Amino acid sequence: MSEFRIDQITNQSGSRGPDIAGITTFSATSGMVMPSGPTEYRGGRDRAIRAGGIITSPSTARVDTIDYVNVSTTGNATDFGNLSTILAQGGACASSTRGIVGGCTPNGSSNTNNIEYITISSTGNAFDFGDFTKLGHSRDGASNNTRGIFFGRASNPFSFSDIEYITIATLGNASTFGEMTETAQAGAGLASPTRALGLIGKATSNVINYVTIATTGDAKDFGDISAAANGVAALSSSTRGVYGFNYVAPATTDTMEYVTISSLGDAIDFGNLTSANNQGAGTSNNIRGLFMGGGSPSINVIQYITIATTGNATDFGDLTQAAGYIMACSDSHGGLG
């Protein structure tokens, strides 16, 4: 059998490799087709996950539902599996392969310290990951591809300034990272590959904090959103963070605001969501951002934005059920670069 060596093919003069013009075809059974399209959409990484929440039909109850969508398309969510128990009011973060959910309430009066995980590229039920150092709910998650950060917590009637972290690729308990500049709950977390932002989530504060993910230590002041935060959702590209939903007494809002993660400063108007609500969740594929659900009242709406631009949100599709106080993450968000 003769040997055909690609590295020995040259053009007619021998000065360089061959020029290939026009349409080429390959009919053998052992060829390789190079992928096409934007790099960020190759390799199967484009999945957003929603987990848990509170529904209002048939009754006000927590659920263990996990569903998913492909962010670069539009359409309704598909069933993924289930959490280990019914959960709501927690935080989420993810690497390119593993999604993390934790810091929730299984009912309206108790708290947990449990952390669960899923493999995003598959479907199936969640597994135990480890525990936070303290009981609580309403933690806000953010991450890069290595470390997950959880800001704040609540244990009724109090809120706390704790920051804890995990190493996403391993299983085990969370460790203390530092403290926020004030007590926080029901805010929102987002990240670039190097910096995580935690929004103070309570009716008396509009402050954004930040930390450097690879280190430990107390958070520092980043800037402010336009109004005191309660039930806000957040998402990001590797450079820009966007906040949506809020409860500004006495009503929910449809506003979105953005910040440049690498700098310090106050948030700037981005546009408007399709309707006013709060207690939804946000995530992205680094280009397109999704805001999911909402709890005032519970809705099943998914809407999307293009993060690099400004403008109003557009309808994406629906979750498998109307739910608020949900958790969301993706395998291609801004913290992964």
Q: Would the pLDDT of 38 be above 90?
A: no
pLDDT at residue 15 is higher than 90:
no
**CA nearest 90: which of 64, 56, 58, 127?**
64
Mean pLDDT for all residues in the chain:
90
**Nearest in space to 121 (alpha carbons), one of 329, 337, 326:** 329
Domain ranges across the chain: 47-336
d(CA 302, CA 254): 14
Per-residue pLDDT, 213: 98
Q: Which amino acid is it at 331?
A: D
Environment class of residue 47 by beta-carbon count within 10 Å: exposed (0-12), middle (13-18) or buried (19+)? buried
Interacting residues of 269 by C-beta distance below 8 A, sequence separation 6+ = 226, 255, 256, 257, 310
Burial class (CB in 10 A: 0-12, 13-18, 19+), 262: exposed
Kindly indicate the confidence band of residue 6, based on its pLDDT and cuts at 50, 70 and 90.
low
- 115-124, 150-159, 187-196: which has the minimum mean pLDDT? 150-159
Mean pLDDT (whole number) for 98-104? 94
Tens of pLDDT, residue by residue over 202-218, are 888 999 999 999 999 99
- Considering just the CA atoms, what is the radius of gyration of the chain in Å? 22
Phi, psi of 8 (to 5 degrees): -110, 5
* Residues 304 and 289 sit within 8 Å (Cβ to Cβ): yes
In this prediction, residues 188-209 reach a mean pLDDT of 94
Strands 78-87 and 91-94 come out as unpaired
The pLDDT value given to residue 116: 97
Residue found under tokens 């992964």: 336
Q: What is the largest CA-CA distance in the chain?
A: 81
Question: Is it the case that residue 188 has pLDDT exceeding 50?
Answer: yes
Which pLDDT does position 192 carry in this prediction? 98
Tokens 């690609």 belong to residue = 6
DSSP 93-157: EE-SSEEEEES-BSSSS--EEEEEEEETTS-S--EEEEEEEEEEB--EEEE-SSEEEEEEEEETT
Asked whether residue 41 carries a pLDDT value surpassing 50, the answer given is no
Among candidates 247, 163, 245, which has minimal Cα distance to 197?
163
More confident residue, 250 or 116: 116
Residue-level pLDDT at 203: 80
Q: How many CA atoms lie within 13 A of 10 on its CB side?
A: 6
Looking at CATH, the fold of the domain delimited by 47-336 is given as Neuraminidase (2.120.10)
- Under the banding of pLDDT at 50, 70 and 90, the label for residue 23 is very low
Phi and psi of 40, rounded to 5°?
A: -70, -15
Contact 89, 327 (CB under 8 A): no
Contacts 24+ apart (CB under 8 A), 40-43: 40/285, 40/286, 40/287, 40/332, 41/72, 41/285
Query: Residue 286: how many CB atoms within 10 A of its CB?
Result: 23
CA distance 198 to 187: 7
- DSSP annotation string for 172-193: ---EEEEEEEEEE-S-EEEE-S
Which residues are CB-contacts of 321 (< 8 A; sequence separation ≥ 6)?
55, 63, 65, 300
pLDDT of residue 19: 58
Q: State the CB neighbour count (10 A cutoff) for residue 30.
A: 5
